[in-house]
A and B are shown apart, each in its own frame.
Chain A
Amino acid sequence: MTFMKRFHVTVAAAAALSALALASSAGVDQARAEFPDKNLTLIVPYGAGGGTDIGARLLAKDLDPLIKQPVIVQNITGGGGWTGWGTLATAKPDGYTLGLLNAPSFYMGYLDPKLGRKERLESFTPLINHVIDYVVVTVVPGSPYKSVKDLVEAAKAKPGSISITAHGVGGDEHLAIMQLERMTGAKFKVVHNKATPESKSQVLGNHVQVLACNLSEIVTEVKDNQLRVLGVMSPAKSRFLPTSPTFKEQGYDIEASVSRGIAGPAGLPKDVEAKLVAWLDKVVTSKEHQDKADSLFLELRSIKGDAYRKFLKDNEQTVKDLMGW
Chain B
Amino acid sequence: MDTLLSVVVNAFTPVHLGMVLAGVVIGLIIGSMPGLSSNLGIALMLPLTFGMDPVSALILLVSLYTAAIYGGSFSAILLHTPGTSASAATAIDGFALTRKGEFNKAIRISTFASVFGGLLSAIALLAIAPPLSLLSLKFGPAEYFWLAVFGISVIGTLASGNMIKGLVSGAVGVAISTVGLDLDSGYPRFAFGFYDLQGGIGFVPAVIGLFSLSQALLMCEKPHNTIQEADPTGGGKWRLLPTWAEFKFIHPTLWRSSIIGIVIGILPGAGGDIGSWTAYNEAKRFAKNDPDFGKGSIRGVAASESANNATTGGAIIPLLTLGIPGSPSAAILLGALVLHGMQPGRTLFTEHAHFTYTVCVGFLIANLVMGFVGMAMCRYMGVVARLPNTILIIAVIVLSIVGSYSLGNNIYDVYTMMAFGILGYLMRKSGFSAAPMVLGMILGPLAEQGFRQAVQLADGPVLLHMVANPISWVLVALIVLSIGSAAYLEFSRSKLTDVMAER
Total chain A interface residues with beta-carbon distance under 8 A = 56
B185 contacts across to A, CB distance below 8 A? 169
Instruction: Tell me the bound Cα distance from A216 to B494 in angstroms.
Output: 60
Given contacts A54-B46, A74-B409, A76-B410, contact A197 B325 (CB under 8 A): yes
Q: Give min CB distance, B131 to chain A, whole Å.
A: 15
Task: Tell me if B412 and A78 are in contact (CB < 8 A).
Answer: yes
Within A37-88, which residues are at the interface with B (CB < 8 Å)?
47-51, 53-54, 57, 61, 74-80, 82-83, 86
Instruction: Tell me the bound Cα distance from A50 to B269 in angstroms.
Output: 14
B453 (CB) vs chain A CBs: closest residue: A191
A161 at the interface (CB under 8 A from B): yes
B235 at the interface (CB under 8 A from A): no
Q: Which of B47, B186, B410, B453 contacts A168 (CB 8 A)?
A: B186
* Interface 0/1 of A174-212, CB less than 8 Å to B: 000000000000000101111101101110111110000
Task: Tell me if A114 and B44 are in contact (CB < 8 A).
Answer: no
Given contacts A76-B410, A197-B331, A204-B137, contact A57 B46 (CB under 8 A): yes
A161 (CB) vs chain B CBs: closest residue: B459
B324 at the interface (CB under 8 A from A): yes
Task: Tell me if A86 and B323 are in contact (CB < 8 A).
Answer: no
Task: Tell me if B345 and A54 are in contact (CB < 8 A).
Answer: no
Q: Give min CB distance, B68 to chain A, whole Å.
A: 13
Instruction: Tell me the bound Cα distance from A86 to B332 in angstroms.
Output: 26
Task: Tell me if B137 and A201 are in contact (CB < 8 A).
Answer: yes
A170 at the interface (CB under 8 A from B): yes
A202 (CB) vs chain B CBs: closest residue: B140
A244 at the interface (CB under 8 A from B): no
A163 at the interface (CB under 8 A from B): yes
Task: Tell me if A295 and B338 are in contact (CB < 8 A).
Answer: yes
A46 (CB) vs chain B CBs: closest residue: B408
B40 contacts across to A, CB distance below 8 A? 48-49
Stretch in B195-203, B221-229, B241-249, B430-438 touching the partner: B195-203
Within A149-185, which residues are at the interface with B (CB < 8 Å)?
161, 163, 167-170
A221 at the interface (CB under 8 A from B): yes
Instruction: Tell me the bound Cα distance from A226 to B323 in angstroms.
Output: 11
A169 (CB) vs chain B CBs: closest residue: B186
Q: Which of B39, B184, B193, B318 contacts A48 (CB 8 A)?
A: B39
A112 at the interface (CB under 8 A from B): yes
Given contacts A114-B187, A201-B268, contact A80 B181 (CB under 8 A): yes
Task: Tell me if A198 and B269 are in contact (CB < 8 A).
Answer: yes
A-B contacts, 9 listed (Cβ < 8 Å): A48-B39, A49-B39, A57-B47, A79-B198, A163-B457, A169-B184, A202-B140, A206-B137, A208-B457
Ranked nearest first, the 10 interchain pairs of A and B with the lowest CB-CB distance are A77-B408, A169-B186, A48-B43, A49-B332, A205-B137, A207-B140, A49-B43, A79-B199, A220-B343, A78-B199
